[in-house]
Every structure is written in structure tokens, then in C-alpha cells.
Structure 1
Amino acid sequence: MTDPRAASRPTATVPAAGVPVSPRRAGGFAIRAARPEDAAEVVALRAVVHPYLVRGVESTRQMIAQPPPGEDWTAWVVESAGQVIGWASAYRNSQTSEADFGEISTLHVHPEHRGRGAGTALLTAALDHLRAIRARRVLTWVRPESLDFARRHGFTPSREMVLSALDLRPAPPAPEPPPEVRLLAATEVDPRRIHAADVAAAADEPGDVPSDAIAYDSWRYEVWDNLGLDRAASTVAEVDGELASFSLVKRDGDRMWSDYTGTVPAYRGRGLARLVKRAALHRAAAGGVRVAYTSNDGANAPMLAVNTRLGYRPVASQWSCLRDLA
């Protein structure tokens, strides 16, 4: 049982061969490679376009300034009248055994600037980059109203992802674990143990591509060293000394994202996912978080049921869309 990671991962700018990085102008806007100083405007844009996706300025700046090795991540912004009105990124998925699999983050185009070609320009830049790094297949995430746009560009809708929100006022009460279960904050646990549990839990996560090659260095960069990770709120459960379940929290001010909740297969069916997630929500609320967001594959009935029991309510949906690259 898993509670998947955010659909829109932070991105870095690493110019690839054949991908222009100087500004290109068309339709009254300019597209260029993202820079660390764009982070605040990118986060502000995301709050308008995808208010349920939580990623703070410092975390976004960190990922743009210090790209992870081996993934060929690159990002672009679209500017109009000196303001960032569009954002996209593309990278190689290094967490799967499927060879040459690329991804494009959810395109961000400000509602007041749509219909002028900004989205097409961002998508073209991303696809050109993925071709340059020899990706043979690509996945992106699309809101329901943009599915026709995706189809026109050769993508086929695949799986629905449900995005949900929970008001943490009042704060949920702390859970009472059974005697054999010990709840710990992530600060009290060796990150390698959490990584090992993550790998085990993610192996059968529903999705278009298996998450079966999560290397520790990549995980540490993306998860543990992410400036948005709230280690004090993130919670793990030990059963007889073994790390059995965990719920990771990423935070921006008074908003949080349940980045990933998972249970090692051997310990499923005991209610541990709900236990650790409730504990993480309680700790986050005690630290000042007022609203929590999460996402789930539409076919992940067990985790959807957990979130419903915790009080989450759907607020939006996205569809994974796939296409092959020549």
C-alpha cells in the first residue's frame, strides 16, 4: 500500500546538446533556461495553476542551482513583460529499470496567458531535450481540461491520479500505537533504513512504469536532503525493531505535502499506513501546518480508503499521458 510521490518533481537546468538555452521569442513571450533566481516566481505561478502542489522557494531554488547527477534534468521558463508565466522540466527517470524512460513535469502556464503558444513552446523544448538524451518513451501529467492538448501532441491518456486535501484545524489527535509498534520521527532514524523501506514499498506501486531502481544517492538527494522535507513531522513505524512503515512530509509554510507513505509488503494489512500518516499529520499540525495535500493513483483503493478515513477530500485530478519518441 503506497501513497505516491508528487507528480510534479522539482527540476534543474542542465543544458543538453541540441537544446537552445538562450531566450527565444514568439507570440509576445520568451522561453529560456530556468535560473535559480526564478524560484520565487515559479512557486508563485504554481500556486495559481496547481495550488495543491506544495514545493517551497528554497527547495525549488536548490534543485535548479544544484541538479542531481545522472538524470539530465533541465527546466525552462516562459517570460512575458518580464514576468514568469510558464514553467516545464524534463529529465531521465533514474528510479526505474525501464531503459531510456523520460518524464516531463506538469506544464505550468498562467491562465491569463494561455492560447498564445506558451504551452506548445515548453512542450517542444522538453521533447527536444528528451530526444537529445535518447529517451525512447515519455510520460507527463495533464489536467482533465488539457487532455485534448496532450492528444494533439501524440500523447495517450493512461491513469488517473486523485489529488486530495485535508484541513488540519483542529489538529488530528495523536494515534495510540499497539504495543508491538513504536512510532519515531524521521530525525531518530538512519536514513538508509528509510530508503530500504521505501525501495521495498515502492516495488509494486501502481503506475505506468515500475519504481524498482531507487538508488540511495538519488533518494538521498531528492528526499532526505530536500530543503522542504520536514523530518520532525515525517514518521516511521517499527515493529519488533524492524522499520515497517513510513510517512514523509514536505512542507512550505503552513501547507504540507504527504510526499510518500508506504508499508513494507510483509507488514501490510495491520493498519500501519494509516497509523504513520495520522501521526505525521498530528506532528505537522503541531508545528503550524494548516492544510495537507496528497495524491493517489486512482486504482490504489487501499490508500484511497486510508485517506478517506483520515478526512481527506478530492480537490482535483490529473492523468498520466504517454507517448513514444522517434
Structure 2
Amino acid sequence: MRIRTARPDDAPAAVALRALVHPYLVRGVESTRRMIAQPPPGEDWTAYVAEVDDTLVGWVSAYRNDRTSQAGVGEVSTLHVHPEHRGRGAGTALLTAALGHLRDVGARRVRTWALPESLPFARRHGFTPSRELRYSALDLRPAPPMPQPPPGVRLLPLTDVDPRRMHLANLAASDEPADVPGDSISYENWRYEVWDNLGLDRAASTAAEIGDEIVAFSLVERDGDRMWSDYTGTVPAYRGRGLARLVKTAALHRAAAGGVRVAYTSNDEANAPMLAVNVRLGYRPVGSSWSCLRELA
């Protein structure tokens, strides 16, 4: 086994491994290739792979979190090892490489995500489980009907929305429960990570507009006939009006019309309003993971 920095041509094998370990996560080959070849600006993003006989059997990425106002936060994201190669040190080696990178770029606190069966591994490496995340799936056959917006509300595909207006709405709505608040991201980095994401389906992604303000939105990332609800949010002043359900239903309808057959999403277990929206839409739980924290010496 050897550990090395990921290369763009690792993308197909990395996506196949992710689909095996996390079948509900949606990120296609081309968006993964772009992430490796052209990482987000200013995040010091990197990824490592574990190889056995030239076969990719493990993956991890690490970066400084630039979406939060908290200083010194690093992320270890999507650490996973092929089930047939676990218990042989690949996970520990990948995590060691990721933490070393975060120390080098000045991170002082680290968040990662662990499947329930991986919590003992996380604890052995100094992480403390904190919050549970629920993964849910929705079969889009049949698709939900296109909702009718209330008077004064317009439903727009993102193809008809200026990205700077979406960035402002995204910032305003980013106060969901989390160990690390996603309350700060520059327009340049948001544009790279969200708007210019090769998986973003702007025709399906939907925004609600009142007057000249974007007040709610639901973002769709797509890979073939699978989609991920990347984020659904409502600007605080407009909550309690059913707008989150409105835009998410419209986005699901448009995605299904474009050939998507199954939708996935995730929610913090403390996010009762969005969990209620998803239950009403027919989502069913398919898995969970835990946000885990540790300090870096």
C-alpha cells in the first residue's frame, strides 16, 4: 500500500469508490476531476489516495474552511476505504496525511464526518462525535407536481437569476444547525464551489423571488439520473410561509422532467423544519453520519 497526492486521472476510480461506500453522495467524475486539477481558491484544498497494486482503495480530502467566520477551522472530508481493504492501516495513513496538511496550513480545529460504524476509529484518533446527520432519498417516479406559488411569489430557474443575487441569498440563509457555521464565504469562492460547479443543474435549481429579492432557493447537483439537494434555504425574514417546501418541490419537479430518477439530501437531526419538509415530500432515511471535532496540537 502507498499513500500519494491525488491526480486528476484518479477521478473515475475515486467516484466509483465513493459510490460503493457512500451510495447517497452525488458528485460526478468531471466535477471531481476539476476539484483535483483546479482546487477552490484560497482553501489550500488537497486530496490523498491509498493504492494497492495500482488500484485505488482509499480517498481523503482536506482543506481550510472558508465558509465560516470561525478562525482556524480545517475539514477532513469524505475519508473512505474500500471494505475489502479495511483494518490494514489505509484509513490511519490517509488521516495522518490529511491532518499533517491541515497543520501545515495553520488549522487549529478540525471537523470530519464519520459513519456510525466508523465512530470507534474517529474516537481513537482524537475526534469527539457531536452532531448526527440524516441522509434521505426520494424516488422521483412519479415526480411531484409543479407547485403553484402564492400571489407575489415568482419561481425562477437559476438560469434566470444573477449569481450575485444568489450569493447574497445563500449567505443570508446559511444559519442551519452545525458545529461550524457556514456564515461567511466570498463571492469568488462561492462562485467556484456553487455556481460554476460542473454538477450544478441550473435549469432544475429553483429560486423564489418577491419584489426584487431572492427569498428562498433549492440547489440541485446532478450526476446522470441521480441528484443531490445541495442546499435549500429561506432568508430569515421570509420563513414560516412554506417557501422552502415550495422551491424544493419545484426543483424536484424540474429535475425529474430532465431525467432524474432519485433524489438524495442530508439534514442535521436538529433541523426540524427542513426534516419536516422532506418527510412531507416523501423522503425516507437511508443512512447517517456524525460530525466529529478535535483540536490540532
Q: TM-score, normalised by structure 1?
A: 0.90
Would you say 1:158 and 2:158 are equivalent positions?
no
2:75 counterpart residue number? 103
SS in 2 for 1:306: helix
2:96 counterpart residue number? 124
Alignment partners' CA distance in 2, 1:216 and 1:262:
18
Offset at 1:106? 2.1
1:314 counterpart residue number? 285
Would you say 1:181 and 2:153 are equivalent positions?
yes
Deviations 1:109-137 (A, max 9, x none): 01111111100000000011111111110
Would you say 1:255 and 2:226 are equivalent positions?
yes
Would you say 1:222 and 2:189 are equivalent positions?
no
2:241 counterpart residue number? 270
Alignment partners' CA distance in 1, 2:172 and 2:213:
13
Deviations 1:175-221 (A, max 9, x none): 1111211000000010111110000000x221011212111001000
SS in 2 for 1:232: coil
Offset at 1:108? 1.4
2:168 counterpart residue number? 196
How high is the sequence identity, in percent, across the aligned residues? Answer: 78
Deviations 1:229-285 (A, max 9, x none): 000000000123321100000000000000000000010000000000000000000
Runs of 4+ more than 6 Å apart:
none
Alignment partners' CA distance in 1, 2:247 and 2:183:
23
The letter of the residue matching 1:259 is D
2:16 counterpart residue number? 44
Alignment partners' CA distance in 1, 2:287 and 2:279:
15
Alignment partners' CA distance in 1, 2:236 and 2:255:
26
1:169 to 130, 141, 148: 141
SS in 1 for 2:267: strand
Aligned residues: 297
Alignment partners' CA distance in 2, 1:231 and 1:208:
29
The letter of the residue matching 2:126 is G
Q: CA RMSD in A?
A: 0.7
Would you say 1:32 and 2:4 are equivalent positions?
yes
SS in 1 for 2:78: coil
Alignment partners' CA distance in 1, 2:78 and 2:127:
13
The letter of the residue matching 2:152 is E
Would you say 1:83 and 2:55 are equivalent positions?
yes
Alignment partners' CA distance in 2, 1:212 and 1:262:
13
1:21 counterpart residue number? none
